[in-house]
Amino acid sequence: MTSVEMENEFLIHYDKITNFDAPGYESDEISRFLTQAQERLILHIVNPRGNKYVTGIEVTEKRRKDLSELHRDGIGVISANQTGSKADGTFFDLPTDFLYTLQEEATISSTSPCYDGDTGVEVKPITHDLYIKNRKNPHKKPYGELIWRMDFSRDTIGTGPKRHELITDAATTVTTYSFRYLRRPQPIISDTSIIEGLAGPLDCELDTIMHRAIIDEAVAIATGITSPELWQLGRQEASLSE
């Protein structure tokens, strides 16, 4: 569906639920509801605890297809600002549309001939607690075939790219950090409004199978504002789309 078609279907469902007895919404407001609904559904798909089947983003084929249009390949760029990096750690800037990591690996150089030039080296996401606990453990800390990855703040809060910190052993240097990631979708705008710095009209980028789920969630958001009692009833009868 185009964004205009999604707006029209939103109006049909919203009027049906409210029995034409609630304030109407303008196109720019509906676009914001659709964009907010899109974001909510993505977060529920990514978070296994956020959906009724308790399944993550790639557990079922349906869930893989739901967000497949947002999959991209990326290469991390060594950050110009390395202030605060850990010993043997390096900050890498991520793409500006980066949302979540799906898969990651690295190519390395090493003073050890066994590992020098290796490609497809495992990059393992860890917590800061695990880093503190195992950084001196010779059996668990990084080595030639294992790199740790931790999340870190943007160089410039709010405007700079997101960053990852890669932790290696002293003999290893990451020459290429590559990954497949979930990118942030553009807003859904049915008119010439500006949302998130982008001017419409803009159609939904997600697979068409997701469009009606987005509309249903947008209607729920709008109903929750104008008719809270109807919103509560609807939430008791249905959960977010899977």
Work out the pLDDT band at 236, boundaries 50, 70, 90: very low
> Which amino acid makes up residue 185?
P
**CA 98 to each of CA 94, 135, 185, 194, 232: distance values in angstroms, whole numbers, following the listed order:** 6, 28, 10, 21, 34
99-114 tens-digit pLDDT: 999 999 999 999 999 9
User: Is the confidence at residue 226, as pLDDT, over 90?
Assistant: no
122-170 tens-digit pLDDT: 999 999 999 999 998 988 999 999 999 999 999 887 778 999 999 999 9
User: What SS3 state is found at 87?
Assistant: coil
Short-list 136, 148, 163, 150, CA closest to 106: 148
pLDDT of 159 reads 79
Per-domain boundaries in the chain: 3-67+206-237, 71-183
45-103 tens-digit pLDDT: 887 655 555 455 666 777 778 899 999 999 999 999 999 999 899 999 999 999 999 99
- Residue 137 in tokens: 């453990």
Mean pLDDT (the chain, rounded): 88
User: What SS3 state is found at 208?
Assistant: helix
User: Is the confidence at residue 229, as pLDDT, over 90?
Assistant: no
Around 30, how many Cα atoms within 13 Å sit in the side-chain half-sphere? 24
As a 3-state breakdown, the chain gives helix, strand, coil percent values, each rounded to 5, of 35, 25, 40
Give every CB contact of residue 133 below 8 A, 6+ residues apart in sequence.
none
Q: How many CB atoms lie within 10 A of CB 54?
A: 10
Alpha carbons 77 and 98: distance in angstroms, whole number: 13
User: Is the confidence at residue 119, as pLDDT, over 60?
Assistant: yes
Do 94 and 78 touch, CB atoms closer than 8 A?
A: no
- Residue 61 in tokens: 């084929």
User: Is the confidence at residue 221, as pLDDT, over 80?
Assistant: yes
pLDDT of 241 reads 45
pLDDT of 158 reads 74
Task: Give the chain's end-to-end CA distance (angstroms, integer).
Answer: 19
